[in-house]
A and B are shown apart, each in its own frame.
Chain A
Amino acid sequence: MDGLCCGPGYASPSKAIQAPREKLLYTIAIYTGTGIQKPDYLATIDLDPDSKNYSKVIHRLEMPGIGDELHHMGWNACSSCHSDEKMSRKYLLVPGVRSNNIYVVDTATNPLSPSIYKIIDGSEIKSKTNLSGPHTVHCLGSEIIISFLGDARGEAPGGYLHLNKDFEIQGRWENSMGDIPFSYDFWYQPRHNVMISSEWAAPNTFMPGFDLEEVGHLKYGRRLHVWDFEKKKPIETMYLGEDGLIPLEVKFLHDPNSSHGFCGAALSTNVIHFWKSKEGKWEWEKIIDVDNEPHPDWPIPIPGVMSAILVSMDDKYLYINNWLHGDMRQYNISDPHKPVLTGQIWMGGLLDKAPVVNGVKIAGGPQMYQLSLDGKRMYVTTSLFSTWDNQFYPDIRTQGGVMLMIDCDVENGGMKINEEFVVDFGKEPNGPSRCHESRYPGGDCTSDIWL
């Protein structure tokens, strides 16, 4: 992809930043839990500003049946197999959290109209690996691992599914889950032989919706786990306590030599920074604490609910969202111990600061986002998870989700909503759907890891 080598991805983060501008975006859109009896689908969105279809959904790949709840996804290959000329970034693995199915989507044969290449049946995954509730997909060189949040009965802690490059089930990836109580996201940094995993909850806990009281009953996570990546087993726990309630997304810096990484604790609405000290010890600290905000209808102030974080490819900026407040923020993390707020935008949210953006009334708040490799364009969607949407933003049933683009100033910092771009999923042909995670064909800021 970079013209120098043969395999997928890029030789380095700095090479990735120089990649051509993204022209297409794949985004999942759901009908599960919306009342519309149609399958979830993978939407292809035209990002070419010179195209007559710019900012429109140009293709919809429907899944074979209803009820998957497509959520996150990942590539079959990334820069971790850049030196392998036999590999290519061709297939997008799209799991259904509720159905347990994994759809392998061919995006290379015709990038404008991706097609289903293979279906890994959810019941086969359960019978062979005792796993359910798939979430994060990462490639490991030419192999693939996917975190699952539960066992076949939906009980924690779940584990990791190992697929080979032909998408055949190899069994469980991990040799041990140790005493990990919950699973969710993970990221690895091979040069430090480390993987960090986070904790949401058991599928049987989070899938039906959010009962706040279950946090106090320890049904939700509050720890990060340090893994010996080669031995495939957890070796240390970072107990975050009240500072780290529901720690979700984990991101290392893209620099493969760095041990610095971050996690967004959704309910505490904090960013946790972790790193390996000179003595070789894993340390953590809270570096961002978003205050809860008062609301006239709420008996207690509203937490931000930081459901995602993202690091720009140049490792200069950390982006966070506050799904319930309705803002997104950009922090300069040149010193990862001391982030500096450099940008902020508002879209939707419960604080009523930006109920309408680019002519579209927004039900929901900034939720998932993907950043261009050059760091200048961020695509943001508004739906979190069908049952949680229904609790906090009931109007999303009739209004659907929205995708906006944020122009990010990579030189001086700053964020601004682009006025030319909006994709209103409320106007989809089968009725209002909800958009969640996105990926670019050429790689993006949440896919690639360097060995």
Chain B
Amino acid sequence: MNKIIIANRGNSFFKVKGSKPLLHELRELGLDLPYGCQYGGCITCAAKLIEGKVDQRAQVALNNRQINDGYVILCVARAKTDCTFEIGVESHDKLYRNPFIDPLASHELKANIATRKDIKE
């Protein structure tokens, strides 16, 4: 069991087993979270990881900058340790950017086209 703290919901916390992706476990425990595709391909369910480690190898939506900024695709991610998240659109301050004003460096692209991996554990 890992403890999941939601920093922007009054530090409310939930105990998850890791048997399902975080989105499903947390929703079953009563946390109202957004979602879309439910396979890791869109960023509707993205949350920001403040502390802890997750396994989100199944996601294909985030570019490397978003990953380095702590974003996690909850519909496929599982907690590897206790984690603290910010959730919902309040956590999306760095998720969206105007791509013309703020371009990505080549290593910040999605993993399948980035020049080199530069992803935090």
Tell me whether B37 and A207 are in contact (CB under 8 A): yes
Q: Mark B69-92, 1 if CB is under 8 A from A, else 0.
A: 000000000000000000011101
Tell me the bound Cα distance from A34 to B89 in angstroms.
7
With A98-B44, A217-B113 as known contacts, state yes or no: A67 contacts B100, CB within 8 Å: no
Smallest CB-CB separation from B75: which chain A residue? Answer: A67
**Which chain A residues lie closer than 8 Å to B109 at the CB level?**
211, 213-214, 217
Which chain B residues (84-111) contact chain A, with CB distance < 8 Å?
Answer: 88-90, 92, 95-101, 103-104, 106, 109-110
Tell me whether B43 and A214 are in contact (CB under 8 A): no
Smallest CB-CB separation from A123: which chain B residue? Answer: B38
Q: Mark B9-44, 1 if CB is under 8 A from A, else 0.
A: 000000000000000000000001011111101111
**Which chain B residues lie closer than 8 Å to A150 at the CB level?**
41
**Which chain A residues lie closer than 8 Å to B104 at the CB level?**
211, 213
Tell me whether B89 and A207 are in contact (CB under 8 A): no
Tell me whether B37 and A203 are in contact (CB under 8 A): yes
Binding stretch for chain B, among A184-192, A223-231, A384-392: A384-392
Tally chain A residues at the interface, Cβ within 8 Å: 39
Tell me whether A387 and B89 are in contact (CB under 8 A): no
Smallest CB-CB separation from A152: which chain B residue? Answer: B39
Tell me whether A98 and B37 are in contact (CB under 8 A): yes
**Which chain B residues lie closer than 8 Å to A208 at the CB level?**
41-43, 61-63
**Which chain B residues lie closer than 8 Å to A33 at the CB level?**
34, 36, 44
CB of A3 to closest CB in B, whole Å? 45
Smallest CB-CB separation from A206: which chain B residue? Answer: B42
- B7 at the A interface (CB under 8 A): no
- A411 at the B interface (CB under 8 A): no
Binding stretch for chain B, among A112-120, A163-171, A294-302, A368-376: A294-302
Most buried by B among A204, A299, A302: A204
Which chain A residues (379-418) contact chain B, with CB distance < 8 Å?
Answer: 386-387, 390-392, 394, 397
Tell me whether A387 and B42 are in contact (CB under 8 A): yes
With A67-B44, A204-B60, A386-B44 as known contacts, state yes or no: A213 contacts B103, CB within 8 Å: yes
The 10 sampled A-B contact pairs (Cβ below 8 Å) are A37-B32, A66-B35, A67-B44, A98-B36, A204-B61, A207-B36, A208-B41, A212-B100, A217-B109, A387-B44
Report the 9 A-B pairs with minimum CB-CB distance, sorted nearest first: A35-B89, A98-B36, A207-B42, A154-B41, A212-B99, A208-B61, A390-B96, A208-B43, A204-B41
Interface of B toward A, CB cutoff 8 Å: 32, 34-39, 41-44, 60-63, 88-90, 92, 95-101, 103-104, 106, 109-110, 113
Extra contacts, 14 of them, besides A154-B60, A208-B42, A211-B99 (Cβ < 8 A), are A33-B36, A37-B32, A99-B37, A153-B39, A203-B41, A208-B41, A208-B61, A208-B63, A209-B96, A213-B109, A214-B110, A297-B101, A300-B100, A391-B98
